[in-house]
């Protein structure tokens, strides 16, 4: 097994156990057992459990952040070139579309989503703080763009509505595929593309409504 394979196995196992058992309830021994590696491998590649958590989150989030940043900056640059404000619809799409597409990006994506969803509701802030520190720059970039797109809204109102929008997106990310919504007496769940379009319409309407 190469060092790259070992590191990947540790990351995969940590991600799965952190998502299902919680960060503090997961021991390094449990991770090494699932990954079929020795404890020295964790120490060699990561140094500590906290550093391992950081690596687990960065592995998924940094590439997603790069996609979202590129798309948001593209919207802002196009608007500047045309001499017009960016549109809220384009900015929301640049952020939301790649985020929802992430769900099907890899076999481990659902464990990562569960890990983040769990961290947002747990009293302990360890995972949440790690996640928020990495996502904050993208959130700030999106908010700045929306301030240009919707100058008629006060920043405080816009910020609150953006939180509503991200909360709705997070619900779809974490609960959209649960079996409770796949009931024979309920309509068939929407396909991925239609779901994204409906979510964008929903949050866009809420964001732009007059104060």
Residue 28 domain flag: no
Residue 23 domain flag: no
| Alpha carbon distance, N-terminus to C-terminus of the chain | 59
Residue 83 domain flag: yes
Residue 71 domain flag: yes
Residue 54 domain flag: no
Residue 26 domain flag: no
Residue 161 domain flag: yes
d(C-alpha 159, C-alpha 167), whole Å: 12
Cβ-based burial of 84 (10 A; exposed 0-12, middle 13-18, buried ≥19): exposed
Helix (H, G, I), strand (E, B) or coil at 87: coil
Question: Residue 4's pLDDT is what?
Answer: 67
Question: Residue 107's pLDDT is what?
Answer: 83
Tokens of 125: 């802030």
Q: Would you give per-residue pLDDT tens digits along the chain (211 residues)? A: 566 689 999 999 999 999 999 999 999 999 999 999 999 999 999 999 999 999 999 999 999 999 999 999 999 999 999 999 999 999 999 999 999 999 888 888 999 999 999 898 888 899 999 999 999 999 999 999 999 999 999 999 999 999 999 999 998 888 755 555 677 787 887 888 998 999 999 999 999 999 9
Residue-number span of the structural domain to which 96 is assigned: 61-208
Residue 3 domain flag: no
Number of domains in the chain: 1
CATH code, domain carrying 69: 1.10.357.10
pTM of the model: 0.90
Which ranges of 103-151 would DSSP assign to H, the alpha helix?
109-121, 126-149
d(C-alpha 15, C-alpha 9), whole Å: 10
């Amino acid at each position: 097994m190469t060092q790259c394979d070992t590191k990947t196995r540790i990351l995969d196992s940590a991600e799965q156990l952190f998502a299902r058992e919680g960060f503090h309830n997961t021991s390094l021994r449990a991770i090494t057992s699932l990954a079929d590696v020795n404890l020295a491998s964790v120490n060699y590649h990561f140094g500590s459990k906290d550093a391992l958590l950081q690596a687990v989150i960065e592995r998924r989030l940094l590439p997603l952040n790069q996609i979202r940043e590129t798309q948001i900056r593209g919207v802002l640059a196009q608007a500047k070139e045309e001499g017009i404000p960016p549109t809220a619809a384009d900015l929301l799409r640049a952020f939301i579309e790649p985020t929802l597409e992430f769900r099907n990006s890899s076999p481990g994506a659902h464990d990562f989503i569960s890990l983040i969803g769990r961290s947002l509701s747990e009293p302990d802030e360890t995972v949440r703080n790690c996640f928020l520190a990495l996502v904050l720059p993208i959130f700030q970039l999106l908010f700045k763009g929306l301030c240009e797109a919707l100058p008629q809204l006060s920043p405080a109102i816009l910020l609150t509505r953006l939180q509503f929008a991200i909360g709705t997106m997070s619900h779809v990310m974490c609960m959209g595929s649960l079996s409770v919504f796949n009931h024979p007496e309920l309509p068939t769940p929407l396909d991925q593309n239609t779901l994204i379009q409906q979510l964008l319409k929903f949050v866009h309407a809420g964001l732009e409504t007059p104060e």
